[in-house]
């Protein structure tokens, strides 16, 4: 099936099999490997992206369901080689260790800060609760989101 979508500001049209998950399409067909596959069951959040401004776990959608959608992945966060303030804060506040969960955490944080520019610690923890991190214990991730809130 033909599917058209705008990914990180660029319009694309591809032939995809109806059974292909959006995360597979992004990674395998488009080469956008920043969106990670962690569990394929929507539990971990490593595949979190934005579809029409809403965070979604891209392992829960078929690519054909995104016909006409506006999609933003971690690759679309930086501008002209400059990290987005959220990415910069994750780097500065060491909100990552292995980095596997980081793209999903950044995308979830983006939506939170877009809707709530001054979130409390509780609100940050609630916003990222669908994203699992096996390394950091979340403390520095929360600090990174708090720092990003001051930069945006």
Distances (CA, A) of 15 to 64, 73, 86, 102, 146: 9, 20, 34, 30, 41
Neighbours of 61 (CB within 10 A): 20
Q: Are residues 71 and 123 in the same domain?
A: no
Domain final residue, candidates 17, 51, 76: 76
Q: Are residues 52 and 27 in the same domain?
A: yes
Full domain range(s) for residue 46: 2-76
Highest mean pLDDT among 35-44, 128-137, 139-148: 139-148
Q: Is residue 144 pLDDT above 80, yes or no? A: yes
Question: In this predicted structure, what is the pLDDT of residue 41?
Answer: 85
Q: Are residues 70 and 18 in the same domain?
A: yes
Q: Is residue 42 pLDDT above 80, yes or no? A: yes
Q: Are residues 100 and 124 in the same domain?
A: yes
Q: What is the CATH number for 37?
A: 3.10.20.30
Q: Are residues 97 and 48 in the same domain?
A: no
Q: Is residue 105 pLDDT above 90, yes or no? A: yes
Q: Are residues 59 and 104 in the same domain?
A: no
pLDDT band at 5 (very low <50, low <70, confident <90, very high): very high
Q: Are residues 91 and 34 in the same domain?
A: no
- Percent of the chain scoring above 90 in pLDDT: 93
Question: In this predicted structure, what is the pLDDT of residue 92?
Answer: 97
User: To the nearest whole number, what is the mean pLDDT of the chain?
Assistant: 96
Using the Cα atoms of residue 70, residue 95, residue 129 and residue 100 in order, give the sign of their dihedral.
positive
Neighbours of 30 (CB within 10 A): 20
Number of domains forming the structure of the chain? 2
pTM (2 d.p.): 0.94
Range 113-118 average pLDDT: 98
Q: Is residue 40 pLDDT above 90, yes or no? A: no
Distances (CA, A) of 114 to 26, 72, 86, 96: 24, 14, 11, 21
Q: Which two tokens stand for residue 125?
A: 């923890």
Q: Are residues 57 and 100 in the same domain?
A: no
Q: Are residues 45 and 70 in the same domain?
A: yes
Question: In this predicted structure, what is the pLDDT of residue 136?
Answer: 77
Q: Are residues 37 and 92 in the same domain?
A: no
pLDDT tens for each residue of 63-91:
999 999 999 999 999 999 999 999 999 99
Q: Are residues 26 and 63 in the same domain?
A: yes
Domain final residue, candidates 76, 100, 127: 76
Domain final residue, candidates 55, 76, 97: 76
């Amino acid at each position: 099936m033909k599917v058209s979508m705008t990914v990180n500001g660029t319009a694309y049209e591809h032939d995809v099999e109806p059974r292909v998950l959006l995360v597979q399409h992004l990674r395998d067909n488009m080469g956008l490997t920043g969106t990670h596959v962690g569990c394929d069951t929507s539990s971990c959040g490593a595949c979190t992206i934005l579809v029409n401004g809403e965070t979604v776990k891209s392992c829960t959608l078929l690519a054909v369901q995104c016909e006409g959608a506006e999609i933003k992945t971690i690759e679309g966060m930086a501008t002209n080689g400059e990290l987005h303030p959220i990415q910069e804060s994750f780097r500065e506040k060491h909100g990552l260790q292995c980095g596997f969960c980081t793209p999903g955490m950044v995308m979830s944080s983006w939506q939170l800060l877009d809707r709530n520019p001054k979130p409390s610690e509780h609100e940050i923890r609630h916003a990222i609760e669908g994203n699992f991190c096996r390394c950091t214990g979340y403390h520095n991730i929360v600090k990174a989101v708090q720092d990003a809130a001051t930069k945006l």
